[in-house]
Amino acid sequence: MDTSELRKAVEEVELVDAHAHNIVSLDSNFSFIHAFSEANGEALSFSPNSLSFKRNLRDIAKLYGSEISLQGVEEYRRVSGLQSITSSCFKAARITAILIDDGLTFDKKHDVEWHKNFIPFVGRILRIERLAEEILDEDLPDGSSWTVDSFTTAFVSKLKSVAGEIFGLKSIAAYRSGLEINTNVTNNDAEEGLRQTLIAGKPLRIANKNLIDYIFLRSLEVAQSYDLPMQIHTGFGDKDLDLRLSNPLHLRAVLEDKRYSKSRIVLLHASYPFSREASYLASVYSQVYLDFGLAIPKLSVHGMISSMKELLELAPLNKVMFSTDGYAFPETFYLGAKKSREVVFSVLRDACIDGDLSVPEAVEATKDIFARNAIHFYKISSVNSVINSHSNLSQNLSGDLDIDVSLVRVMWVDGAGQHRCRAVPKKRFNDVVVKNGVGLAFAVMGFSSHMDGPAEGSGLTAVGETRLVPDLSTLRRIPWNKKDEMVLADMCVKPGEAWEYCPRDVLRRASKILKDEFDLEMNAGFENEFILLKMLKREGKEEWVPFDSSPYCSASGFDAASPVLHEVVDSLHSLGIAVEQIHGEAGKGQFEVVLKYTICTKAADNLIFTREVVRAIARKHGLLATFIPKYALDDLGSGSHVHLSLWRNGQNVFMGSGTSSKNGISTLGREFMAGILQHLPSILAFIAPLPNSYDRLQPNTWSGAYLFWGNENKEAPLRASSPPGTLDGLVTNFEMKSFDGSANPYLGLAAILAAGIDGLRRHLPLPEPVDTNPNPETLQRLPASLSESLDALHKDDFLKEFISEKLLTAIKAIRKAEIEHYTKHKDAYKELIHRY
């Protein structure tokens, strides 16, 4: 029988790794020998004598070209560095997507975001027991003791708050009290279990069966209501686990309970040595699916093949999924991928020989097992189009995605906030650009809005070249031109070393300072106002005029623009960008699209993609969309208002609680806001970077013309906000009105972060709010021109730690050039509709 077609399919398919864990630094105290065994302590010393150890060590040494010994491989790892070996392992594994359970507490583990440097798509799986322990390790704000009711409220609230950001839940009940979940556990049972757990002291490790069962069932309810899968550890593991209690047959009570009949459950690790039992469950329960990571590659070759065959004895092929169960070391991902290809080929080839499958059916089964099942089951393709944008996956796995991607746009944002790109053929992108980047003249970061040449005094000239290195985590298929892809780039001196002018790196470094010093993260959500223009011909001349003149939130105006607006929302959804609201604004032809908040670095990326979508979709419909701050001097302007909040360990700590709050804002939040308020005049040079920006920032236009803050005061440049659903008296975020659509969002958010950090460091007091219309006689006017803001920036030195002196010099020179040009050419701002 000719199975060459099957072998080709197995070798070429791009893998979706549906269950893995974080990689650790080379200097982690979790030693490399753990890559080969689940054993610990003295038992680990015997692992080099196992069949899988010897085979896997040879495979790694062959990949690296190193000596075939543990010491030889470890020396190669040390000399090469983590970046190099991780790239080598993932490239050889040909893994396109990974879902990471980050609940394992490794020493010096990298966060989920770090893995995006190597894999086009990385998603998160949330481990429920770890979340419960993190919650209970924190004290309640009022100093009271935890009860089941207060814990349930906090736990369920947290699960719901992240439901849209994760791809599934994970339970390790098998490790704690076993899989025989009591579906009738009572609140009283859980209360007693909680009491006993708390008595043991912190840090908590929940092992009480009643409490574990209670947590499992509450989690399953949330998972079912949000249509999230629940991964469950079954079968073998380290010695913390009682193997007798990890047989998936113990889950019968859960599977039979009608309350959970719509849940979606994944039995991990092939349930080895209970693979036949798992296969049976998947065949008779619609909600049960299987994953064979860990069994491959931890077993002998015979063990891996027999376990895989047992899984397929009864289980439907579209319920079986690949994963590596990779952890700590990139080599574990490589081994899981390599051996899975070999084992699946062997098992499906035998199925063809035995007559269970035809070769074409086996080819389809290969694509299902290695990728399509996970894409559909975890809803990867519907939530984030990164998977769809990967050419091999799109060509090999789904007819819907079988599109020839010909060009990739490598995008950046310059010092004047303008979007720019270089397009390269897909093959060159994969072969050269991914690793080495695209060359770009230094001068480009010194361009102003009126001239594609470096501003005088910027320090940037025709001499020198940076590298645009694509950030593969941002690779997206272009919704309005599905033949192409786009990716955001970092500016580097060389791959891995940021250029000091790189805006994305400036924001990352500012975010890191906030995290390192205060253990805080800043979330951001943008409200994007834009004007739709149509072309008219008057006396033989072409002229762009507003699309319509309908008033604020006009239903008829929305109807008129609905073909454009619907396509905008659909396109953003395909890019994984959540839209919270879209409506008509008060200006002629003006609309606003509101994005869901997220971590500020990602929010900036999302803003760039959103501007691209809006302009492209409008152009597709024969219109021109512009984000220019003030299109018509006699009409309202367009802003890019940003809502900001501070988070720690997944909790909003900007919002007040207990005695540490005033005006519904925490002490941290007040100090952060105070820093921004104090430095706002100079921040304007970043977030309102054009002379035209100040035509928008006028009194009585809801744009913030005076220096103050207020509670739900639309005239305040900093507005404390309490969205629907917020408890009375509390504030969840604050809005900055001054930010506009001509700003580079990375530099703008970095300047805001720097000011906020200054407020936190110096414990600056926040003035009392102004909750009335601002009085010009008692309040300081914010800069009324870019010149005034630039003067303020010259006098302010808070940015030096955050933005290099050279970049700051370039920004000041660009702003000066803008002032000079638009002062001399009063009507030149009208051309900005073609740049913003």
Query: How far apart are the C-alpha atoms of 229 and 238, rounded to whole Å?
Result: 24
How many C-alpha atoms does 709 have within 13 Å on its Cβ side?
26
**Cα separation, 388 vs 393, whole angstroms:** 7
pLDDT digits (tens, 9 = 90+) for 682-707: 999 999 999 999 999 888 888 888 99
What is the reported pLDDT for 198? 93
| Gap between the Cα atoms of 255 and 253, Å rounded | 6
Exposure letters 79-111 (e unless 16+ CB within 10 A, then b) = ebebeebbbbbbeebbbbbbbbbbbbebeebbe
- Reported confidence tier of residue 639, pLDDT bands at 50, 70, 90: very high
What does the pLDDT read at residue 749? Answer: 96
pLDDT of res. 389 = 45
CA distance 723 to 704: 20
Average pLDDT along the chain: 90
Helix (H, G, I), strand (E, B), or coil: what is residue 63? helix
Task: Read off the pLDDT of each residue in 731-754 and give the average, rounded to a whole number.
Answer: 93
Q: Is the pLDDT of residue 585 over 50?
A: yes
pLDDT band at 659 (very low <50, low <70, confident <90, very high): low
Give residue-wise pLDDT tens across range 266-278: 999 999 999 999 9
Which has the closest alpha carbon to 746: 415, 518, 316, 499? Answer: 415
Q: What is the pLDDT of residue 660?
A: 61
H/E stretch holding 128 = helix 128-137
Which of 243-257, 294-308, 320-334, 437-451 is the least confident region? 437-451
| Distance separating alpha carbons of residues 611 and 195, to the nearest angstrom | 52
pLDDT, tens only, 177-231: 999 999 999 999 999 999 999 998 889 999 999 999 999 999 999 999 999 999 9
Number of residues in the chain: 836
Peptide bond into 203 cis (omega under 30): yes
**pLDDT tens readout for residues 363-404:** 999 999 999 999 999 988 533 344 444 444 434 444 443 334
| Three-state DSSP class for residue 341 | helix
* Cα–Cα distance for residue pair 23/49, rounded to 1 Å: 25
The CA distance from 405 to 391, in Å, is 7
User: Which one, of 446, 566, 579, lies nearest residue 525 by Cα?
Assistant: 579
- Is the per-residue pLDDT at 500 higher than 50? yes
Angle, helices 555-574 vs 600-620, to 10°: value is 120
Tokens of 185: 């556990």
The pLDDT of residue 402: 36
In whole angstroms, what is the distance from residue 207 CA to residue 113 CA?
30
The model scores a pTM over 0.85:
no
> What pLDDT is stored for residue 385 in this prediction?
44
Q: What per-residue confidence (pLDDT) applies to 494?
A: 80
By three-state DSSP, how is residue 697 classified? coil
Residue 796, helix vs strand vs coil: coil
Dihedral sign of CA atoms 811, 817, 819, 825 in order: negative
Distance CA 587, CA 579 (A): 21
β-strand 465-470 against 484-494: which pairing, if any? antiparallel
Q: Which of 4-13, 36-45, 587-596, 681-690 has the least mean pLDDT? A: 36-45
CA 209 to chain centre: 34
**3-class SS shares of the chain: helix, strand, coil, % to 5:** 45, 20, 35
pLDDT tier, 658 (very low <50, low <70, confident <90, very high otherwise): low
Cα separation of 282 and 264, whole Å? 11
Give the three-state DSSP class for 440.
Answer: strand
Q: What confidence tens digit (pLDDT) does each residue in 708-720 have?
A: 999 888 889 999 9
Q: Higher-confidence residue: 660 or 338? A: 338
Task: Pick 461 or 674 by higher pLDDT.
Answer: 674
Judged against a pLDDT cut of 90, whether residue 495 lies above it is answered with no
Instruction: Give the pLDDT of residue 388.
Output: 45
Q: What is the pLDDT of residue 384?
A: 39
pLDDT for res 57 = 93
